[in-house]
């Protein structure tokens, strides 16, 4: 039993001794490494692109000087092109300035054992110099700096049956400042390859075809419709060339119709085709061309309803010929919207003519006050008024009516020569009773009762009344 105990004690002592020796050797190796890497670079040390592992300061500087003297930079250009810049061409050289010494003593030598699985890269641009003038000349002479092709953005092009994306042109335009910066960095840090594409030295398009694919598809969908507005002797066409300008982006970056822009289009349409109050050229009963403006007669587009209708037509891809939704209509949609059935009132000669389909059916004198307005008016609904006979309004307060006390005298209105009748002054041609009756017209047109009745029986609301 005692012998066994002695044997076990001996084994423990040997194990403890072995561990102590191992620890001493490890400690010795560790401190040797700390001492060694005080004057040597750690494993995996790259200085200006050159492997300086285990080198002393002097060895590293000799290597840097040697490698710098034979340095060559490969300048890789767009389209797999390649050019070179050598150390001799720019007088590139290494100059010891203490940077290697500082770097060597800055490294963490106490963790040297970890460096075997790591790689440390150091750049010492201050220790490398070159001739600035030669550098400028060399870079300026590079082929990639000559005859650059400007980049062109991708864009959407209108074609016969829709839109298509025209791809971008990358070109070869160099950003000179970025190129100079990139090459300077390469030659001062020992980098042997400058890939101008990867290093962002080209001026690239700002819009690429892939950026426009979705927009082009949506444009084709939204503009595949033709709406033709019918204004009788004039037309307006809303097709893809027009609709493309009505598209905008929503919050999801999708193209949609901008209803406000459509409303602006309808507003411009109304300015062009609404005729109420506009200046018109009018041919009188005696074949005189005159200009008449003002009044309430004419076409008025209902802009709000027409905006909604056009928007819906486009969304429904409804190709059609249509008339706008009107708030007010006139006799004719031609440029001459008065047409050939109308009442003509000449205030100067006090003559009124009713035309139907271009033929005069009533030709009469009348009485009117100085406040009777000129313009082209719309005859309102005929009414049986209590105070006057055959009331035919052309505004809210003014109208044409008959008076049994009014007697028209003067030149025969149906002169065979075709010349117009001139009824002279109101004193000679109008017998209206008293001045009180005259003043009561207040801008209205007063006719002899018989003529008023005839006109009343031959007109309908909406008939143009031209007063000049």
Task: Please give the pLDDT value at position 353.
Answer: 98
Task: Please give the pLDDT value at position 431.
Answer: 43
Transcribe 315-354 into DSSP letters. Answer: HTT--EEEPPPEEE--S--SSSTTTT-EEEEETTTTEEEE
Task: Please give the pLDDT value at position 33.
Answer: 79
pLDDT tens, 68-101?
Answer: 888 999 999 998 999 999 999 999 988 888 888 8
How do strand 320-322 and strand 227-230 relate by DSSP bridges? parallel
Task: Please give the pLDDT value at position 3.
Answer: 60
- What angle in degrees, to the nearest 10, is found between the helix axes of 303-315 and 259-273? 130
By 3-state DSSP, what share of the chain in percent is helix, strand and coil, each rounded to 5?
Answer: 35, 25, 40
CATH architecture classification, 223-279+295-328: Roll (3.10)
Which uninterrupted H or E stretch holds 345?
strand 342-346
CATH architecture classification, 342-467: Beta Barrel (2.40)
In the predicted model, residues of the chain with pLDDT beneath 50 are 411-440
Task: Please give the pLDDT value at position 426.
Answer: 37
- Domain ranges in the chain are 36-146+171-204, 223-279+295-328, 342-467
Distance from the first to the final alpha carbon of the chain = 148
Place of tokens 């009331």: 391
């Amino acid at each position: 039993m005692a012998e066994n105990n002695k044997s076990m004690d001996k084994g423990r002592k040997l194990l403890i001794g072995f561990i102590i020796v191992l620890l001493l050797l490890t400690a010795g190796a560790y401190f040797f490494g700390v001492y060694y890497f005080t004057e040597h670079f750690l494993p995996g040390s790259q200085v200006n692109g050159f492997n300086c592992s285990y080198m002393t300061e002097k060895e590293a500087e000799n290597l840097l000087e040697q490698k710098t003297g034979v340095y060559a930079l490969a300048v890789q250009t767009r389209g797999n092109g390649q050019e070179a810049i050598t150390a001799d061409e720019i007088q590139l050289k290494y100059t010891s300035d203490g940077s290697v010494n500082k770097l060597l003593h800055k490294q963490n030598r106490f963790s040297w054992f970890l460096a075997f699985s790591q790689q440390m890269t150091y750049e010492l641009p201050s220790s490398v110099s070159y001739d600035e003038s030669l550098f400028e000349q060399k870079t300026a002479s590079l082929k990639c700096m000559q005859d650059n092709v400007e980049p062109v953005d991708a864009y959407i092009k209108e074609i016969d049956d829709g839109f298509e994306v025209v791809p971008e042109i990358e070109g070869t335009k160099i950003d000179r400042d970025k190129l100079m910066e990139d090459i300077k960095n390469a030659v001062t840090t020992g980098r042997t390859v400058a890939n101008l594409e990867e290093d962002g030295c080209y001026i690239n398009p700002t819009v690429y075809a892939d950026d426009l694919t979705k927009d082009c598809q949506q444009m084709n969908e939204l503009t595949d419709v033709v709406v033709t507005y019918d204004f009788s002797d004039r037309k307006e066409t809303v097709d893809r060339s027009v609709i493309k300008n009505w598209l905008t982006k929503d919050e999801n970056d999708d193209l949609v119709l901008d209803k406000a822009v459509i409303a602006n289009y309808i507003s411009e349409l109304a300015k062009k085709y609404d005729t109420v109050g506009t200046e018109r050229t009018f041919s009188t009963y005696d074949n005189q061309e005159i200009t008449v403006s003002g009044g309430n007669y004419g076409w008025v587009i209902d802009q709000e309803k027409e905006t909604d209708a056009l928007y819906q037509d486009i969304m429904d891809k409804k190709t059609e010929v249509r008339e706008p939704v009107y708030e007010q209509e006139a006799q004719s949609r031609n440029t001459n919207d008065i047409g050939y059935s109308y009442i003509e009132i000449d205030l100067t000669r006090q003559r009124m003519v009713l035309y139907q389909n271009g033929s005069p059916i009533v030709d009469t004198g009348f009485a009117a006050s100085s406040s009777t307005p000129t313009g082209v008016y719309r005859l309102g609904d005929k009414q049986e008024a209590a105070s006057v006979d055959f009331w035919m309004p052309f505004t809210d307060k003014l109208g044409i009516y008959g008076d049994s006390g009014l007697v028209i005298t003067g030149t025969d209105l149906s002169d065979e020569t075709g010349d117009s009748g001139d009824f002279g002054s109101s004193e000679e041609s109008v017998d209206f009773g008293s001045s009180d009756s005259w003043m009561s017209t207040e801008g209205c047109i007063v006719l002899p009762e018989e003529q008023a009745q005839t006109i009343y029986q031959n007109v309908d609301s909406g008939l143009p009344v031209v007063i000049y």
